[in-house]
Chain A
Amino acid sequence: MDSNRTSRRRFLQSVTTASAGALVLPRAEGASLPDYRGPNVVIVRFGGGVRRRETIDPEHTYAPYLCKELTKRGTLYPNMVLDSLESVETGHGQGTLYILTGKYAKYRDVHGEVLGERFEAEIPTVFEYVRKAYNIPEHQTLIINGEDRKQEEFYSFSNHHLFGVNYKSEVLSLFRYKIYLLQQQLAEGKWHGKKRAEKEKELGEMEALDYRAKGKRDPANVVQAFWKKWRDYFGENGLVNARGDRLLTELSLWSLKYLRPKLMMVNYNDPDYVHWGNMSHYTRGISVIDDGLRQLVAATDADEHYRDNTVFVIVPDCGRDSNPLISVPCQHHFNSRSAHEIWALVMGPGIRKGVVVDKQVDQISIAATIGQCMNMETAYTEGPVLEDAIS
């Protein structure tokens, strides 16, 4: 009885929202937009904050594949920085948005929480640019997100009045899978009575987190089919599939195979565990990402659709401190000079190989460079294109 009433309410709510959406919001998909025929782009956020020393320094690296093999295939910028303007913070959320929007901005948590990082960009992300310029469906622009930083699920579009939710990217993560799973389990009538009400509430709360997109965009059938395959393969308990950054690699590989993204961002984050002091978490996290890179590059090399047609942009979200005063110098990233010092590696078709550009460049140049690679205008970015990388 309860479930029927709830279903009716949910149905009416979704019909009303969908109708309003159809009237008010223009859809991105349009016959007038050209199909995208340029190279695919994979942005790898070498995240969780890493220093140059443990990544691109051959003497101290924990990422040998990146440092000793991939650098030969592309252009390395060892001297990239997050600008040291007063408002530029060296956080993961901020760094990710600097990469995606191409502009430094002062971000505040939308709910006003002190340590919250639920940010909303005011200018478009590269996903929005590419979807506004080309006829690319949402599920072919992807953010692959981890389970530890749920707030980064919602960096898929900005609040810009000319862009926004209609040009958003799809997000793949365990959080999205849990939503899918709950929806399916409720539809299958797995629970009854009080338990069902609890699960419906839980689902409602999870869906409400994406309040800007809720009711405006539904996951495409192809994404639902993706999760169905995932469920059939890994089951429901979450203890079979990989976790942490290994999960992100797995999700990325599945995406390349089943969703064929044109633009994908992988938000690695495991090295950030060094905040708790265990240095091995940091070095191990870097190795895990390095292994993920090896698998991603191997997958694109092995796939005709992606081979010689995929640009990789590998860039940390932020650096980490090199604080000599404490036992674990890179334990945090409290806006020190070292926390501003990052690097970037760009490789793929149209990119110079085996080049090291030692001049100082900015993290916000990534978005414009992606724009250049994908032949789209990125009108609101502030960083210049990394021209030295373009052959």
Chain B
Amino acid sequence: MNQQVTEVEESVATQTVSAKRHWFWGIWKWILGAVSCQGPVFALNGAGWAYRLAERSAMKAWWKGQSAPGDRFREAARVTPFLAAYERTPNWIWAQDRAAHGMLMRWVNGLLKNLWLGFCAWFHSLVFLVVPSILMMVSWYSGWDNSFNKGYEQFAVGQQLGLIGVFLMVVVMFYLPMAQARFAMTQDVRSFYDFRLNRQLIRTQWIACLGLVAGYAISGLPLMAADSLLGLITGEKSSQEPNALSELTAAQALGFLQTYFFWWGFYVFGAFVALRCWAARIYARGVQRATQQGRLNAETLSEKERQAIDHFQMASRPPVVRGRVRALGSNVTRILIGAVAAVLLWLGFGFQTHVKQFFNYQHELRRWSNHPLVQIPWFHHIPAHLKEGKLEPDWD
């Protein structure tokens, strides 16, 4: 009896230590994530790490589909060779399995992997977004240039380029999060271009995808506020209460912005990771459902996906009945409702960039070519004049 009590106590104590350690490393990795938002190379590293964590999330989602209630993924991963690589969250710098690498690589394998995955994800996301981004960028610039110079003969140029750019962005964003999620699992850039398979997964999970779109639109709002706020915060209420922020020296302003963006880094990185993991779970459920319904062609899947399907025996489980979805009406109605809602949400997301650009103008290329929640979580805009120790830029 006493021995049983002791075993339970030891087990509880082990779990408590494990939970504390889990929280400690979680917070430490989040701090590193916030730091990674402060520069483009760091952000590539952070993005790569987020994709590796998304891969783990997808694996966990599949494992959950066949686990018993109360089972813990970490414990299962510890004893299952197929899942062994996913026991812990990815490392930022060190190799995940240090024993498997040579002297040098065991210390930097994680970093290199993060950087490479981050770069691939950034580059191939940009391939999709480059045209709408350029159109919106040219629209913003030439639209106001035309307006300023009263070139009414060409006034439609800026306006129409902008509308086409926003429309293309909406189309791309229907597709891109699923392509990114699949890339997280396969870590093969060709996943970005498996149009048929990715579209099939989106169709299988269209309501969840709609939720994800809402997630992007809503989590973009604080970012919009954070960016726009900088354009507003030097205002004064009265001469009796001068605003200290408008009296800063260049060094103080630089320090203020570095602190400001560091703290916002926690949000940006958190949102970036949350959206990646959410998308990964949607992807995982999509693969599972499509497999159960016999709609996936195994030849179009990557080796890793095929192994997962086999390991979790997805094909042998009964398909899920989609009762609640059917309640929304016929296929046509559902597609229409979903499409309209998604278009509106993505338009809202695109609108946020325009609002930010109005309140706090950033260099055109930088502003339009990278959204911190879509490509890389780079959220650190220190004006060049502050870096040079000046309060004002030299315009000449």
**How far apart are the CA atoms of A276 and B240 in the complex, in Å?**
31
Chain B residue numbers with a CB within 8 Å of A273 are 144, 147-148
Chain A residue numbers with a CB within 8 Å of B237 are 86, 335
For A252-281 the 0/1 string (1 means CB < 8 A from B) is: 000000000000000000100101111101
CB distance from A77 to the nearest CB of B (A): 18
Asked if A176 is at the interface (CB within 8 A of a chain B CB), the reply is no
Asked if B235 is at the interface (CB within 8 A of a chain A CB), the reply is yes
Max chain A C-beta neighbours (<10 A), residue from B153, B361, B362? B361
Given A86-B237, A281-B148, A337-B242, CB of A329 within 8 Å of CB of B392: yes
When the two chains form their complex, are residues B147 and A323 in contact, meaning their CB atoms are under 8 A apart? no
When the two chains form their complex, are residues B361 and A336 in contact, meaning their CB atoms are under 8 A apart? no
For B233-266 the 0/1 string (1 means CB < 8 A from A) is: 1111111101101111010010011000000000
When the two chains form their complex, are residues B361 and A329 in contact, meaning their CB atoms are under 8 A apart? no
Given A244-B148, A277-B357, A278-B148, CB of A327 within 8 Å of CB of B392: no
Given A278-B145, A279-B395, A338-B246, CB of A325 within 8 Å of CB of B362: no
Chain B residue numbers with a CB within 8 Å of A324 are 248, 250, 253, 383, 385-386, 391-392
Asked if A334 is at the interface (CB within 8 A of a chain B CB), the reply is yes
Chain A residue numbers with a CB within 8 Å of B247 are 337
**How far apart are the CA atoms of A321 and B243 in the complex, in Å?**
12
Chain B residue numbers with a CB within 8 Å of A321 are 234-235, 246
Q: Which residue of B lies closest to A321 (CB)?
A: B234
Picked from B240, B359, B362, B391, the residue with its CB within 8 Å of the CB of A322 is B391
Q: Which residue of A lies closest to B367 (CB)?
A: A277
CB distance from A220 to the nearest CB of B (A): 29
Asked if B140 is at the interface (CB within 8 A of a chain A CB), the reply is yes
CB distance from B251 to the nearest CB of A (A): 11
Q: Which of A329-364 contact B (CB under 8 A)?
A: 329, 331-332, 334-340
Asked if B82 is at the interface (CB within 8 A of a chain A CB), the reply is no
Number of residue pairs spanning A and B whose beta carbons lie under 8 angstroms apart: 119
Chain B residue numbers with a CB within 8 Å of A277 are 140, 144, 357-358, 361
When the two chains form their complex, are residues A336 and B246 in contact, meaning their CB atoms are under 8 A apart? yes
**How far apart are the CA atoms of A276 and B237 in the complex, in Å?**
24
When the two chains form their complex, are residues A239 and B152 in contact, meaning their CB atoms are under 8 A apart? yes
When the two chains form their complex, are residues A325 and B393 in contact, meaning their CB atoms are under 8 A apart? no
**How far apart are the CA atoms of A53 and B395 in the complex, in Å?**
12
Asked if A94 is at the interface (CB within 8 A of a chain B CB), the reply is no
Chain B residue numbers with a CB within 8 Å of A243 are 149-150, 152
Chain A residue numbers with a CB within 8 Å of B233 are 325
For B352-393 the 0/1 string (1 means CB < 8 A from A) is: 000001111111000000000000000001011110000111
Asked if B40 is at the interface (CB within 8 A of a chain A CB), the reply is no
**How far apart are the CA atoms of A338 and B233 in the complex, in Å?**
13
Asked if B232 is at the interface (CB within 8 A of a chain A CB), the reply is yes
Chain A residue numbers with a CB within 8 Å of B385 are 324, 329
Given A323-B234, A324-B248, A325-B234, CB of A239 within 8 Å of CB of B153: yes
Asked if B231 is at the interface (CB within 8 A of a chain A CB), the reply is yes
Chain A residue numbers with a CB within 8 Å of B239 are 83-85
Chain A residue numbers with a CB within 8 Å of B393 are 327-329
When the two chains form their complex, are residues A323 and B246 in contact, meaning their CB atoms are under 8 A apart? yes
**How far apart are the CA atoms of A340 and B236 in the complex, in Å?**
10
Asked if A108 is at the interface (CB within 8 A of a chain B CB), the reply is no
When the two chains form their complex, are residues B361 and A276 in contact, meaning their CB atoms are under 8 A apart? yes
Asked if B340 is at the interface (CB within 8 A of a chain A CB), the reply is no
Chain A residue numbers with a CB within 8 Å of B257 are 325
CB distance from A114 to the nearest CB of B (A): 15
Interface size on B, residues (CB 8 A): 47
For B133-172 the 0/1 string (1 means CB < 8 A from A) is: 0000000110011011110110000000000000000000
Max chain A C-beta neighbours (<10 A), residue from B148, B238, B239, B246? B148
Picked from A85, A276, A331, A337, the residue with its CB within 8 Å of the CB of B243 is A337
Asked if A219 is at the interface (CB within 8 A of a chain B CB), the reply is no
Asked if B218 is at the interface (CB within 8 A of a chain A CB), the reply is no
When the two chains form their complex, are residues A325 and B253 in contact, meaning their CB atoms are under 8 A apart? yes
Interface size on A, residues (CB 8 A): 38
Chain B residue numbers with a CB within 8 Å of A332 are 231-232, 359
**How far apart are the CA atoms of A53 and B234 in the complex, in Å?**
18
When the two chains form their complex, are residues A334 and B235 in contact, meaning their CB atoms are under 8 A apart? yes
Max chain A C-beta neighbours (<10 A), residue from B141, B247, B395? B395
Asked if B230 is at the interface (CB within 8 A of a chain A CB), the reply is yes
When the two chains form their complex, are residues A270 and B148 in contact, meaning their CB atoms are under 8 A apart? yes
Given A239-B152, A277-B361, CB of A322 within 8 Å of CB of B392: yes
**How far apart are the CA atoms of A334 and B141 in the complex, in Å?**
23
Asked if A283 is at the interface (CB within 8 A of a chain B CB), the reply is yes
Chain B residue numbers with a CB within 8 Å of A83 are 239
**How far apart are the CA atoms of A235 and B237 in the complex, in Å?**
49
Q: Which residue of A lies closest to B260 (CB)?
A: A325
Chain A residue numbers with a CB within 8 Å of B148 are 244, 270, 273, 278, 281, 284-285
When the two chains form their complex, are residues B235 and A327 in contact, meaning their CB atoms are under 8 A apart? no
Asked if A58 is at the interface (CB within 8 A of a chain B CB), the reply is no
When the two chains form their complex, are residues B383 and A327 in contact, meaning their CB atoms are under 8 A apart? yes
CB distance from A280 to the nearest CB of B (A): 8
Given A244-B150, A278-B141, CB of A335 within 8 Å of CB of B236: yes
Q: Which residue of A lies closest to B357 (CB)?
A: A277
**How far apart are the CA atoms of A339 and B384 in the complex, in Å?**
22
When the two chains form their complex, are residues B236 and A326 in contact, meaning their CB atoms are under 8 A apart? no
Chain A residue numbers with a CB within 8 Å of B242 are 337
**How far apart are the CA atoms of A281 and B248 in the complex, in Å?**
27
Asked if A238 is at the interface (CB within 8 A of a chain B CB), the reply is yes
CB distance from A57 to the nearest CB of B (A): 11
Q: Which residue of A lies closest to B396 (CB)?
A: A60
CB distance from A350 to the nearest CB of B (A): 32
CB distance from A70 to the nearest CB of B (A): 22
When the two chains form their complex, are residues B235 and A331 in contact, meaning their CB atoms are under 8 A apart? no
Max chain B C-beta neighbours (<10 A), residue from A244, A276, A324? A324
Chain A residue numbers with a CB within 8 Å of B358 are 275-277
Q: Which residue of B lies closest to A238 (CB)?
A: B152
Chain B residue numbers with a CB within 8 Å of A338 are 234, 246
**How far apart are the CA atoms of A284 and B149 in the complex, in Å?**
10
**How far apart are the CA atoms of A99 and B395 in the complex, in Å?**
31
Q: Which residue of A lies closest to B391 (CB)?
A: A324
**How far apart are the CA atoms of A85 and B241 in the complex, in Å?**
10
**How far apart are the CA atoms of A335 and B235 in the complex, in Å?**
5
8 additional A-B residue pairs with CB within 8 Å, beyond A243-B152, A325-B257: A244-B148, A276-B144, A324-B248, A327-B360, A329-B391, A334-B231, A336-B236, A340-B236
Q: B interface vs A, CB < 8 Å?
A: 140-141, 144-145, 147-150, 152-153, 230-240, 242-243, 245-248, 250, 253, 256-257, 357-363, 381, 383-386, 391-393, 395
> What are 20 of the A-B contact pairs (CB < 8 Å)?
A84-B236, A84-B239, A86-B237, A273-B147, A322-B391, A323-B231, A324-B248, A324-B253, A324-B383, A326-B230, A326-B360, A327-B363, A327-B383, A328-B393, A331-B361, A335-B236, A336-B236, A336-B243, A336-B246, A337-B236
List 3 A-B pairs, minimum CB-CB distance, nearest first: A277-B361, A243-B150, A84-B239
